[in-house]
């Protein structure tokens, strides 16, 4: 039997991570770099992307960075062109940026709606279009988008955001059906609650922080690196027969009916 560890080895492969400056995107870039991939870190914050690339280089990996607005088709296409020029071929492409404006439907303005749809939906489509073309031409590649637990479970003020994340799941299925003939895989991850700079304010509200933690079977938030592990799996040859899927990385959030009550521990 072949060495199964090699299935997770990304040595010699190229990866583009959009959203690499912070959170799950940053952790994913560092994880893929740690597994041997050459990484192009991209973010609307070029300085933040460069910080991530520097961290990968400090760990002995190969990485560089550039700025990119994920909601801009021209920017995403320029990112694709830069990656193609740098790497020759693009094996892995991951997009993580997303926007949530927490308001009820009655309170959503047209500007709010446009901002969320432009980044979450249009941005994902632009990314798939841009990076899917060279992957189809080379007849291989792994595309990974970022959905959310909010695609399946919801609360007041998240209807628009949740709808966009549910749409990403269907985009993944649809695009997988269109490019599978060329050996290109398309998947998504769906995190629940992760410890990142963006969620740091939750710690200032301990009751709310603990409430969300109790939605999981582990009674804790995830680390961004734990979500990045799922990205690494989908990027690797270990997932060579996985396409059109959304991988829940939610700590069991969708496995239980809200925060546990009553008897929570046996044995």
pLDDT digits (tens, 9 = 90+) for 67-114: 999 999 999 999 999 999 999 999 999 999 999 999 999 999 999 999
Total residue count of the chain as it appears in this document: 267
Going from N- to C-terminal start, the domains of the chain cover 11-194+224-251
CB atoms within 10 A of CB 4: 9
CA distance 61 to 59: 6
Superfamily of chain region 11-194+224-251: NAD(P)-binding Rossmann-like Domain (3.40.50.720)
pLDDT digits (tens, 9 = 90+) for 132-169: 999 999 999 999 999 999 999 999 999 999 999 999 99
Cite the active site residues.
Answer: 161
| Residue 266 pLDDT exceeds 50 | no
């Amino acid at each position: 039997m072949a060495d199964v560890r090699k299935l997770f080895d990304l040595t010699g492969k190229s990866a583009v991570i959009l959203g690499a400056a912070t959170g799950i995107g940053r952790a994913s870039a560092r994880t893929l770099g740690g597994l041997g991939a050459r990484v192009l870190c991209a973010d609307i914050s070029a300085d933040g992307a460069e910080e991530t690339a520097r961290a990968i280089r400090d760990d002995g990996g190969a990485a560089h960075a550039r700025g990119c607005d994920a909601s801009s088709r021209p920017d995403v296409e320029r990112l694709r062109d830069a990656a193609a020029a740098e790497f020759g071929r693009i094996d892995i492409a991951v997009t993580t940026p997303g926007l949530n404006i927490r308001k009820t439907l009655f309170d959503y303005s047209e500007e709010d709606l446009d901002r969320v749809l432009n980044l979450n939906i249009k941005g994902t489509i632009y990314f798939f279009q841009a990076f899917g073309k060279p992957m189809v031409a080379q007849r291989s590649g792994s595309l990974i988008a970022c959905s959310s637990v909010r695609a399946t479970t919801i609360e007041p003020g998240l209807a628009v955001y949740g709808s966009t994340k549910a749409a990403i799941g269907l985009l993944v299925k649809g695009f997988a059906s269109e490019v599978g003939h060329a050996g290109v895989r398309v998947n998504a991850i769906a995190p629940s609650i992760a410890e990142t700079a963006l969620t740091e304010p939750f710690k200032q509200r301990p009751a709310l922080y603990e409430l969300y933690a109790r939605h999981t079977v582990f009674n804790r938030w995830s680390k961004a690196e734990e979500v990045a592990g799922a990205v690494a799996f989908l990027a690797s040859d270990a997932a060579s027969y996985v396409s059109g899927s959304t991988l829940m990385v939610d700590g069991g959030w969708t496995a239980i009916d809200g925060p546990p009550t009553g008897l929570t521990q046996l044995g």
